[in-house]
Amino acid sequence: MRASQFFISTLKEAPADADIVSQKLMLRAGFIRKVAAGVYNWMPMGLRSLRKVESIVREEMNCAGAIEIVMPVVQPAGLWQETGRFDGMGDELLRFKDRHERDFVIQPTSEEVVTDIARNELKSYRALPKNFYQIQTKFRDERRPRFGVMRGREFTMKDAYSFDRSAEAAGVSYDTMYAAYCRIFDRLGLTYRAVAADTGAIGGDRSHEFQVIADTGEDAIVYCPNSDYAANIELAEAVAPAGERAAAAEALTKVHTPGVKTIADLVRFLNIDIKATVKALVVEGEEGDAVLMLVRGDHELNEVKAEKIAGIKKPLTMATPALINKAFGANPGSLGPVGFNGRIIADRTVAKMADFVIGANEDDQHYTGANFVRDCVEPEVADLRNVVVGDASPDGKGELAIQRGIEVGHVFYLGTKYSKAMDATFLDEDGKPKHFEMGCYGIGVTRILGAAIEQNFDDKGMIWPDSIAPFSVVICPVGYDRSEAVKATADQLYGELLAAGVDVIIDDRGERPGAMFADWELIGAPHRVTIGDRGLKEGKLEYQHRRDSEATAVAPADILPLLLAKLG
Amino acid sequence: MRASQFFISTLKEAPADADIVSQKLMLRAGFIRKVAAGVYNWMPMGLRSLRKVESIVREEMNCAGAIEIVMPVVQPAGLWQETGRFDGMGDELLRFKDRHERDFVIQPTSEEVVTDIARNELKSYRALPKNFYQIQTKFRDERRPRFGVMRGREFTMKDAYSFDRSAEAAGVSYDTMYAAYCRIFDRLGLTYRAVAADTGAIGGDRSHEFQVIADTGEDAIVYCPNSDYAANIELAEAVAPAGERAAAAEALTKVHTPGVKTIADLVRFLNIDIKATVKALVVEGEEGDAVLMLVRGDHELNEVKAEKIAGIKKPLTMATPALINKAFGANPGSLGPVGFNGRIIADRTVAKMADFVIGANEDDQHYTGANFVRDCVEPEVADLRNVVVGDASPDGKGELAIQRGIEVGHVFYLGTKYSKAMDATFLDEDGKPKHFEMGCYGIGVTRILGAAIEQNFDDKGMIWPDSIAPFSVVICPVGYDRSEAVKATADQLYGELLAAGVDVIIDDRGERPGAMFADWELIGAPHRVTIGDRGLKEGKLEYQHRRDSEATAVAPADILPLLLAKLG
């Protein structure tokens, strides 16, 4: 590509409403332009990277035996009513009526339509397994779209859906997709981690998120540096501390704690170790009763774990002040298990504590030296909290670490959730209809670009992996319009690279060198060749990788083999 | 591709609601599946052909210097309000509100968004010319979606928009696109014609439709077999007959014509040549007056031509019975120019007529022997009618012929219509802002598949051009699962074709030969190789093009070169 025939539009400053690095850089480098909140034009430069991501995803999906289809953006409400999602999904599902007042949605995913395909087309077990995928425009009417393509409203997603005879066979499909995702993210050139994720009501252990590692990521990823254990923070298990609970050593003592409402207040007021305190949280039980949950003062309640406990109202609902007051005779800030007659669930760590500090169920009063059994009932014990750095890994192979990540893919075993809701069956070998065992597998295609940038940037701009750079190589001739020698050398290299199948752009716009280099550093083309009169007189060109701090002098005859070697 | 790993789903019968051949065949062959009226799933087989069309369109657009972008499916109403199309377009524009009650549309085209890009990005004449295109999902909420992908609601369109400094430069962009379209339709392997089309309010002569020739086409295409004249029926000029008007020879005679309401009635009742009759049509003038238009009895009023005449109400409005009765003192069926005081416009052919038969402006009365000047005023003369086969070509090079066609592309000079409405300007060389001169260029990507089928089918199914067939070559082994020799020969040829880059499928499903051949005749793979034990014993395979009535015996060693030669 010649830059003069392409469209390069860079900005010195990002628009004021851009929140994060990738969004700012994509706007500045002319990858995207905003049309409405969370809705963007894909400009020529950005579209090149987007198409490269799509191609890699498509190739690996095909390789893994998945079959491409395209399901419509606009889908009739009827199918969505069969699964209850038409009414059950929130305002993120964009609903509208056509000119005949019939209800439609714009697809955020396509479980309903693909399950309808399966029940119409896959009549026999002989047709299984099948995995249909599409790379298609999606829309989610986010309440507050932000972070550019990371949380936009209109976006491109690859969504695949597998159909199998049995849960066991679905496991094979799941593993095939898991392996394909690893190949995809390897080829994209990104540092990522596949982490176990919550399966919600489906159950089982077949749910993994693919997380691109980036300090700016929204998600916390828990992993063990000594093993392959990795899970998202919702799922990561907090194991019980080793050893038995110590015997009570202190007396239960009521302390007047005026104005103390939080654990931080308490620690400051009593000048104690936060690890000696216990936080009391009250949630609603299924019967509308108040259930007391206890986590150590420095720990955080994990709501996903809490919600899964039998007898707890779903979705997890914090108790109202009125319910708390009725159940405890005190207000939040001074609650605790002593004297409480309702259900008490202690986190595994709390269950091992002795002589702890806790609310006294009287406003502005706490107890020190509290102990289970002696001062209150022995609680139920459950894993109730988020893990923290240094916790023991559940596989016993060391201590947990935490990274930030950006979720770009998800593989998920659906079981018969959708096939039962839509009565989608096939005839099995025994002649009887059975519901399909399904899995769904998503990749946020547009999101990947944002994640790639969050992982690879510096103060000059983006730094693209070769495989998804808008151009792998940029030739920057200094004085292309003035020097015959520069023009001839640049054009020759350009021709040779094109002939070798390299995705190269030659910047023949005639920009000043400073502006030209700044553009390409912003755009983040990984390999740059600079050609100038001064160097040519010495028989030299310059090669610089976008991560290199300095250029390397290269003889003209060596540049092509050098580039081909770098591009692998 | 191995058929066992692909998804083939053919139907014996098309669903009852399919109207036309292409729709029936696409449904039967498993190219598409209906999701809602005018909304389809693209199934694996159809998607392959669709992607091939997209690739050819993309390659030629890139070759022609157009630059690919993607504009969102969901677009904010604000831009559409600037051009007046938000309120001005009919119900085909799908409008909806997002969760915050803001108005949006689903794009049927993207003039507004691309013009917004231009006014933000193309600041200087130095940035021009530019031509941005996208291949993107569109939605038109057709009142009565029908004909499968030919008049669906959700469809894929390639839409390009050129921006130029001047009308002259816009003409160059127009010509470039015209040439690119010719290359595209050549490569698609379709018989087509570029025909001049009406430019409406824009004026000028820069509007051409690309019509795929098919007997089932909705559009009438007028052309001259001896020249390159071609226009659609709306635009094709009906020239005046040669020679002068004959002198009046008959007396004006009133004839009682009870029950005669139509020209057919009149011809039958008086037993005369239809070419001696004149049809009277009454339309509204701009002042609400009745305007009488006269075309020969066997001709049809061309409403596009009629509407363009100065002083005629736009859009063309037929006069109400009340207005007619007031202006003529008679009802439709007996109207004419004799005694009418209003405006009279005669078609060029009528203007040359003498002694014609026409309504007498009395119910159930006609005149024979009517003549202009002697019996009524000399009328205004205009081209008012559709041409018919045998009319003189406007270029004087012979007689016109008419074919049926399916519009699959349109190139159109827009002038400053959108740039003025949205005040989209660039700074010209003189330092002054000027409105962009624009052109728009559409290709109905999904529609092309329907048109290709309407042009290429027989009673067994579709017949694809090589370039857009879902598979170019199908290998049909008879007894793949039973005969080692068949399997070995088939697998070897499959491997060789793959290695040669041929898009080949091997039907290893183990279907009975009759069902297998019927599937591939329906699907329309152009080249078929049949491999069976009986032939192999004689050292023969069979080659058959989808258009061949018989297979040709070929030695195994000759089949690869034969196929490569056929595939060009």
pLDDT, one tens digit per residue, over B152-169 is 999 999 999 999 999 999
Whether A11 and A151 map to the same domain: the answer is yes
Which chain A residues touch B117 with a CB distance below 8 Å?
33, 41
Give the separation between CA A177 and CA A66, rounded to whole angstroms. Answer: 9
Establish if B74 touches chain A: CB-CB under 8 angstroms. Answer: yes
Q: Are residues A64 and A198 in the same domain?
A: yes
Q: What pLDDT digit, counting tens, does each position of A46-82 carry?
A: 999 999 999 999 999 999 999 999 999 999 999 999 9
Is A549 at the interface with chain B, CB within 8 A? no
Residues A436 and A558 in one domain: no
B139–A41: do the CB atoms touch at under 8 Å? no
The answer to whether B365 contacts chain A (CB < 8 Å) is: no
Domain boundary among B351, B382, B413: B382
Question: pLDDT at position A86, please?
Answer: 95
In a domain, A169, yes or no: yes
Give me the residue from B68, B98, B137 closest to A73, CB to CB: B137
pLDDT reported for residue A202: 74
d(CA B568, CA A340) in angstroms, rounded, equals 86
CA–CA separation, B194 and A464 (whole Å) = 44
Rounded to a whole number of angstroms, the CA Rg of chain B reads: 29
Residues B233 and B258 grouped into a single domain: no
Task: Return the bridge partners of A290, or none.
Answer: A284
| Same domain (yes/no): A259, A358 | yes
Mean pLDDT of A322-330: 94
How close B109 comes to chain A (CA, Å)? 14
Q: Does residue A73 sit at the B interface (CB-CB below 8 Å)?
A: yes
Q: Let me know if residue A242 belongs to a domain.
A: no
pLDDT-derived band of residue A413, with 50, 70 and 90 as boundaries? Answer: very high
The first and second tokens of residue A443, run together, are 């990749």
Q: Is B62 on the interface with A (CB under 8 A)?
A: no
Residue B491 sits in a domain whose CATH number is 3.40.50.800
Q: What is the pLDDT of residues B350-360, one digit of tens each?
A: 999 999 999 99
Q: Categorize the per-residue pLDDT at A214 as very low, low, confident or very high, splitting at 50, 70 and 90.
A: very high
Q: How far apart are alpha carbons B438 and B117 in whole angstroms?
A: 13
Cα distance from B94 to chain A (closest Cα, Å)? 7
Shared domain check, A229 and A317: no
Q: Which residue of A has its CA nearest to B96?
A: A96
A35 and B141 within 8 Å at the Cβ level: the answer is no
Query: What's the confidence (pLDDT) of residue B200?
Result: 78
Task: Note the pLDDT of residue A204.
Answer: 75
B96/A contact by beta carbon, under 8 A: yes
- The verdict on A279 and A415 lying in the same domain is no
Residues 6+ apart with CB under 8 A from B501: none
Low-confidence ranges of chain B (pLDDT < 70): none
- Residue B396 in any domain: the answer is no
**Pair B230, B196: CB distance under 8 Å:** yes
A191 and A47 co-located in one domain: yes
For residue B202, the model assigns a pLDDT of 74
pLDDT score recorded for residue B423: 98
pLDDT at A400: 97
CATH number at residue B407: 3.30.930.10
Q: What is the pLDDT of residue B563?
A: 97
B316 contacts B361 by C-beta, under 8 angstroms: no
8 A C-beta contact, residue B93 and residue B142 = no
Burial of residue B274, with CB atoms counted within 10 A of its CB: 0-12 exposed, 13-18 middle, 19 or more buried: middle
pLDDT (tens digit, 9 = 90+) per residue, A232-262?
999 999 999 999 999 999 999 999 999 999 9
% chain A with pLDDT above 70: 100
pLDDT at A330: 93
Query: What is the nearest CA distance from A93 to chain B, expressed in angstroms?
Result: 9
Token representation of residue B313: 């109400």
Indicate whether B336 belongs to any domain. yes
Whether B136 contacts B84, CB under 8 Å: no
- DSSP structure class, residue B277: B
Q: Are the Cβ atoms of B141 and A98 closer than 8 angstroms?
A: yes
C-alpha angle A95-A98-A99 in degrees, rounded to nearest 5: 150
Can you give the pLDDT at residue B201?
A: 73
Residues 6+ apart with CB under 8 A from A127: A121, A426
Chain B touched by A104 (CB under 8 Å): yes
CA distance A122 to A155: 30
Q: What CA–CA distance (Å, rounded) separates B158 from B145?
A: 20
Q: What is the structure's pLDDT at B204?
A: 75
CA distance A338 to B173: 83
Judging contacts by C-beta atoms under 8 Å, the chain B residues touching residue A130 are 7
Number of domains chain B is built from? 3
Q: Which residues of B touch A74 (CB under 8 A)?
A: 36, 39, 106, 139, 153-154
Q: What is the CATH number of the domain that holds B366?
A: 3.90.960.10
The helix (H) or strand (E) run that includes residue B104 is: strand B103-106
Q: Please, where are the H alpha helices in A40-187? A: 44-63, 77-82, 85-88, 111-121, 167-187
**Can you tell me which residue has the tokens 């009277």?**
B280
Whether B463 is covered by a domain: the verdict is no
Q: Read off the pTM.
A: 0.92
Assess whether the previous peptide bond of B315 is cis (omega < 30° from 0).
yes
CA nearest B121 in A: which residue?
A9
Token pair, residue B264, equals 């057919």
Whether A99 is in a domain gets the answer yes
Verify whether the Cβ–Cβ distance A69 to B76 is below 8 Å.
Answer: no
Taking the alpha carbons of A332, A336, A337, A338 in that order, is the dihedral positive or negative?
Answer: negative
Task: Note the pLDDT tens digit of each residue in A96-135.
Answer: 999 999 999 999 999 999 999 999 999 999 999 999 999 9
- pLDDT at A323 > cutoff 90: yes
Mean pLDDT rounded to a whole number for chain B: 96
Using one digit for the tens of pLDDT, what is the confidence trace for B132-141?
999 999 999 9
The reported pLDDT for the residue numbered B138 is 96
Above 80 in pLDDT, residue A211?
A: yes
The answer to whether residues B440 and B477 belong to one domain is no
Q: Does B31 touch chain A (CB under 8 A)?
A: no
Assess whether pLDDT exceeds 90 at residue A205. Answer: no
Asked if residue B197 and residue B102 are part of one domain, the reply reads: yes
Residues A284-307 have pLDDT tens digits of: 999 999 999 999 999 999 999 999
Q: Is A392 inside any structural domain?
A: no
- Asked whether residue B356 falls in the same domain as residue B415, the answer is no
In angstroms, how far is CA B294 from the centroid of its own chain?
A: 29
B71 touching A, CB under 8 A?
yes
Count CA within 13 A, CB hemisphere, residue B247.
Answer: 1
Predicted local confidence at residue B46, as pLDDT: 98
CB proximity under 8 Å: A 402-431 to B: none
Model confidence at A319, in pLDDT bands (50, 70, 90)?
Answer: very high
- Residue B243, in any domain of the structure: no
All residues of chain B having their beta carbon less than 8 Å from the beta carbon of residue A45 are none
Q: How far apart are CA B393 and CA B225, in angstroms?
A: 9
Question: What is the pLDDT, as a whole number, of residue B203?
Answer: 74
Mutate to test the interface with A, among B7, B45, B61, B114 (most CBs of A within 10 A): B7
- Which residues in B lie closer than 8 A to residue A42 (C-beta atoms)? 69-71
pLDDT for position B205: 79
The amino acid at A88: G
Provide the residue range defining the domain that includes B446. Answer: 3-237+402-453
Specify the residue for token string 């409008």.
B95
Q: Are residues A378 and A526 in the same domain?
A: no
Mean pLDDT of A368-387: 96
B76/A36 CB distance under 8 A:
yes
